[in-house]
Amino acid sequence: MAYNDFDTGNHWLPFTPNRHFKKEPRVFVAADGMHFTTHDGRQVVDGISSLWCVGAGHNRKPINEAIKKQLDTLDYATAFNAANDQAFLAAQKIAAMAPGDLNKVLFCNSGSEAADTSMKVALAYHRARGEGHRNIFIGRERGYHGVGFGGMSVGGIPANRKVYGTALLPRVDHMRFIHDPANAYIHNQEPVSQEDYLLELEQRILPLHSPENVAAIIVEPVAGSAGWYLPPKGYLKRLREICDKHGILLIFDEVITGFGRMGTSFGADFYGVVPDMLNFAKCVTNGVIPLGGVICRDKLYDTMMKTDAPEHVIEFFHGYTYSGHPVSCAAAIATLDLYQKEGLFPRAGEMGKVLGDAFHSTFKGLPNVVGIRSLGLAAAVELAPIAGLPGKRAYDIYLDCFRKGALVRPAGDVVVIAPPYVVEKSHIDQLVNTLADSIRQHA
Ligand SMILES: Cc1ncc(COP(=O)(O)O)c(C=O)c1O
């Protein structure tokens, strides 16, 4: 297909510099396995699972067939006051995979909706148990929880927040970021830090607000969108203990770490910590069709059901027209079956080691490289910014890699590779060598 087969004038691209894009469009028209075909007929290897979504690789027949079959059986059904069979089956499967008593699934359509849903559950739950004064949320600097006003407010990426002013939620605070500059190079292991990154939470933030006013703390187990920053060893366990001590709910945003990225079902399993709510999206359907959700511990649901209101009254005034859409849920069931059948989570763990080794052996010592972090099936190379032009070096490198047939992800001045779990060593070599060439060229 030639570029002039379509007009790029009407589509306003998300999280994209549109002015530059229109000068040099990058348009996919087909995908299979590890590769895309572009509008100008080139093959591009998908080094980022298409934004952390496509764990099983592209164009997987079992998922496609399940969607087609579902379309011919029950295309859509109202989600309120009635339900569809696929939503129950998908919820059962997801709950069975989740650790501890994370058993109740609220479906939505995206990671952003999952963030807002989990925050609303937290407020409603505390109110139901007579603690309505608990209405403060704590996020973390450089956290990403999507683009709804709730998720944006607890999120900590400055560019995503700065023009929204007082529209951000008022009763929100942020913990300090988790990156220790002494741990610039992390090679397939949890970083160990001399710094106590939770001291400030305990000694300043919680006393400032009074812990009994705090509804929930929300974190990504690994800071994905910021550029694959890993929590210091023991951090999440201690965060769990602090929350327990003060009756604060702990929410893990596992939109990236959920469903295999760490080599386990969830980041919660990798770190051995069970949150009170676990947000998911992306890999649950292999990215093929939108689906998100929040898995809640039994106590949240049980508390909300323990109401004196008559039985015809709704217990939680929240939901989306497409909550538990039958086609999305059928896709999720097929996707999760496929991950299991092909052993793709353990495979992600194994290939993560190969990716990490390749990053450290190839990038260390290249011009402008100031850090390398690898754990799970994702790795990041951090570059010194160009003076006065933050983000430009990584963006230029991203463009160059794309021209050379490799899709990588720029995040500030970090470049991340997080391929599908079906990745082979040859793809990793191609991705890493292409990125190394570009890093040298942009010295
Ligand atoms: C941790 C996390 N939460 C939430 C989101 C938002 O998800 P969505 O873009 O589906 O709304 C993302 C997206 O990358 C994410 O990484």
Mutate to test the pocket of ligand 1, among 282, 283, 291 (most ligand atoms within 8 A of CB): 282
Residue 399, pLDDT above cutoff 60: yes
Inter-residue contact 36 to 44 (CB < 8 Å): yes
Q: What is the pTM of this model?
A: 0.98
Q: Which atom of ligand 1 is nearest to the CA of 254?
A: 1
Residue 3, pLDDT above cutoff 90: no
Inter-residue contact 35 to 58 (CB < 8 Å): yes
Tokens 């007082």 locate to 166
Domain with CATH 3.90.1150.10 in the chain: 3-56+343-441
Domain with CATH 3.40.640.10 in the chain: 64-341
pLDDT in tens, 261-296: 999 999 999 999 999 999 999 999 999 999 999 999
Residue 156, pLDDT above cutoff 80: yes
Options 3.40.640.10, 3.30.420.10, 1.10.8.10, 1.10.357.10; CATH for 64-341 is 3.40.640.10
CA distance 356 to 139: 28
The stretch 217-227 carries a mean pLDDT of 98
CA distance 204 to 311: 44
Residue environment code for 272-302, b if the CB has 16+ CB neighbours within 10 A, otherwise e:
ebbbbbbbbbbbbbbbbbbbbbbbbbeebbe
Q: Would you state the pLDDT for residue 293?
A: 99
Q: Measured in whole angstroms, how far is the alpha carbon of residue 170 from the centre of its chain?
A: 25
CA distance 192 to 235: 10
The stretch 374-393 carries a mean pLDDT of 98
Residue 302, pLDDT above cutoff 70: yes
Backbone angles phi, psi at 408, to 5 degrees: -120, 175
Q: Look at ligand 1, atom 8, and give the residue with the nearest C-alpha.
A: 111
Distance 15 CA to ligand 1 centre (A): 12
pLDDT in tens, 19-35: 999 999 999 999 999 99
Portion of the chain with pLDDT greater than 90, in percent? 98
Q: Output the average pLDDT for the chain.
A: 97
pLDDT in tens, 92-113: 999 999 999 999 999 999 999 9
Q: Which atom of ligand 1 is nearest to the CA of 110?
A: 10
CA distance 82 to 121: 21
Residue 4, pLDDT above cutoff 80: no
Residue 347, pLDDT above cutoff 70: yes
Query: For residue 56, which of 428, 427, 420 has the smallest C-alpha distance?
Result: 420
Distance 154 CA to ligand 1 centre (A): 13
Q: Look at ligand 1, atom 3, and give the residue with the nearest C-alpha.
A: 145
pLDDT in tens, 164-200: 999 999 999 999 999 999 999 999 999 999 999 999 9
Query: For residue 158, which of 173, 170, 143 has the smallest C-alpha distance?
Result: 143
Mutate to test the pocket of ligand 1, among 140, 228, 255 (most ligand atoms within 8 A of CB): 255
- The CATH architecture to which 3-56+343-441 belongs is Alpha-Beta Complex (3.90)
Q: Residue 230 corresponds to which tokens in the numbers above? A: 């890993």
Tokens 């190839």 locate to 362
Inter-residue contact 263 to 288 (CB < 8 Å): no
Question: What is the per-residue DSSP string for 294-323?
Answer: EEEEHHHHHHHH---S-TTS-SS----TTT
Distance 292 CA to ligand 1 centre (A): 10
Q: 4 or 78: whose pLDDT is higher?
A: 78
* pLDDT band, very low/low/confident/very high, at 143 (cuts 50, 70, 90): very high
Portion of the chain with pLDDT greater than 70, in percent? 99
CA distance 128 to 111: 25
Q: Would you state the pLDDT for residue 6?
A: 80
Distance 379 CA to ligand 1 centre (A): 18
pLDDT in tens, 307-321: 999 999 999 999 999
Tokens 């001291």 locate to 199
Query: For residue 368, which of 270, 435, 323 has the smallest C-alpha distance?
Result: 435
Looking at residue 243, the DSSP 8-state letter turns out to be H
Ligand 1 residue neighbourhood (C-beta within 6 Å) = 110-112, 115, 144-146, 220, 224-225, 253, 255-256, 281
CA distance 241 to 229: 22
* pLDDT band, very low/low/confident/very high, at 2 (cuts 50, 70, 90): low
